[in-house]
A = this chain, B = another copy of it.
Amino acid sequence: MTTIHLADWLNARIDRAREEPVYRQLLEAMQQAILTGQLASGAKLPSSRMLAADISVARNTVLHVYEQLTAEGYVTSTTGSGTYVADTAPNDRAAVRKPQEPADETPRKPCLISKRGARLIAHAGVAPKQWGAFMPGVPDVAEFPSRTWSRLQSRLWKRASPDLLTYAPGGGYRPLRRALSDYLRVARSVKCTPDQIIITTGIHQSIDLAVRLLTDSGDRAWVEEPCYWGVRSVLQASGLTLVPVPVDEEGLNPSARDMAAPPRIALVTPSHQYPLGMVMSLARRRALLEFARQHGVWIIEDDYDSEFRYRSRPLSSLQGLDDAGQVIYVGSLGKMMFPGLRMGYMVVPENLVDTFRTGVAELYREGQLMQQAVMTEFILDGHLTSHVRRMRGLYDERRQLLIDAIGAHFGETLAVRGDEAGLHFVLELPGNASDRAITDDALASGVVTRPLTHYYMNQEDARRGLMLGYACVPNAEIAPAFAKLAGVIERALSAVEAGS
């Protein structure tokens, strides 16, 4: 391309009516000319003065474009001798290839997602809708004392120190760790010092960290059957082989065959089995601890929502019974506060404190110390306790309203289970009903629920049921929303009966 041709070519591409600055348009046009080979490598560019005159832009603009092209490696400049198109082609064929035009003549290998990625996506449990009747596991964030939180936040930001704005070097904000250790000691009989607390972004990150530090790819992990889908995804993403261990009324109930092949790690929800809701009996707790002690098994105690227990105080933790330092206790502030907060904690055995503090900083490069400082004030000023107390009363009402609504529609025919604690319970369905089909139909009617079978790894043994979250549903909406759901259930059950 000669200088004249270059000027024509550029003039055809620069449109002063466009919002984009001329500088940018000229830069992109020059890049295109070089990338497509229309300005061949080695070609000398016109002087900035000459080009500026030819295309009627300020000389400074051309100078800036030339500088940027130099910085980005499109051209090379030698003082006194001029500016030349750099040799940029990876090979001859590619050099003449126009952008957007696939170079069919060169072999191309498709770029694919991985096996573990495909499995993760195929089994993803995350719901497209995260709010409304009867989304399980979500607290009523509309009741969160936003003004109190905002006030504390403003106060702390007024004296934001650099230390709180940079990375958290490991473990999190010390006063928050102290406040949490006090809370957990009293409320949950967790045995810990502030040092043993590691602040995380929630239960997913806590489990991910424990798995990456304590297990290797290919290790066996016991998970409760049924269990929370998120735990399965996190474990599988780290290459663990999941062994589903059934639960009965006393919680985790490993068979002799399970016990014969001890896992590297076992995940349990002793205070409130997720999703079924039973409490692990003391006998099972002690048996599990003894088994773990004998076989070097790590136990992760997931205590995700036990602040909301309606007929007794929160239960003592499994961690408090552990003398061997094998229990990692994980909890979340999201359900007491609001899920978007993304704040949780783990309690690790004393001899692992350094390992976990280094691990969390190395893998996730944590920060959010300002938010942790606000959280600390919120706890120390007593707001957390009073908010949780108020929510416990409110959720208890909603729980009862939903149970009443179920009774009004179905009498004794459909049982409710796991309603002693938490933010949801399970509405049991007959074994021949499809809880997945009902969930899909319900969503079409504007009601969110999750099928119980979705929480099982082995579908053949799965109980049928619907997970009903009541915590985030305003009292007045519970009966009408359940009426819609009841219609869907009735139609499904009569279709099953007609078909059988």
Contact = CB atoms under 8 A, between A and B. Distances in A.
A213 to B, nearest CB: 4
A311 interface: yes
A290 B91 contact: yes
B340 A214 contact: no
B165 A157 contact: no
Interface string A299-341: 0000000000101110110000101111000000010001111
Contact of A166 (B24, B219, B279, B338): B338
Given A28-B189, A339-B165, A355-B121, A215 B114 contact: yes
A197 B241 CA distance: 33
Interface string A155-189: 00110101111111110000000000000001001
Copies of this polypeptide in the complex: 2
Interface in A405-452: none
A292 B189 CA distance: 55
Contacts of A362: 120-121, 124-126, 230, 233
Interface string A129-161: 111000000100110101101100110011010
Given A131-B162, A158-B150, A367-B340, A217 B116 contact: yes
B144 A88 contact: no
Contacts of A367: 334, 339-342
A114 B211 CA distance: 9
A144 to B, nearest CB: 6
A291 B90 CA distance: 9
Interface in A55-70: 64, 67-68, 70
A114 B364 contact: no
B142 A149 contact: no
Classify chain A: how many residues form its interface, as a range. 35 or more
A323 B89 contact: no
Contacts of A315: 68, 71-72
Contact of A109 (B186, B289, B296, B311): B296
A370 interface: yes
Among all A-B residue pairs, the 4 with the closest Cβ atoms: A109-B296, A340-B367, A90-B287, A117-B213
Interface of A: 20, 24, 28, 31, 34-35, 64, 67-68, 70-74, 86-91, 94, 99-100, 102-103, 106-117, 120-121, 124-131, 138, 141-142, 144, 146-147, 149-150, 153-154, 157-158, 160, 162-170, 186, 189, 201-205, 208, 212-217, 219, 230, 233-234, 237-239, 250, 264, 279-283, 285-298, 309, 311-313, 315-316, 321, 323-326, 334, 338-342, 352, 355, 358-359, 361-370, 472
Given A73-B285, A113-B214, 17 more contacts: A28-B189, A31-B316, A68-B315, A73-B281, A87-B283, A114-B264, A115-B216, A130-B169, A149-B157, A153-B153, A165-B340, A166-B338, A202-B365, A204-B364, A230-B362, A341-B368, A342-B368
10 contacts: A68-B315, A71-B315, A86-B281, A114-B214, A114-B215, A121-B213, A126-B358, A126-B365, A141-B165, A203-B365
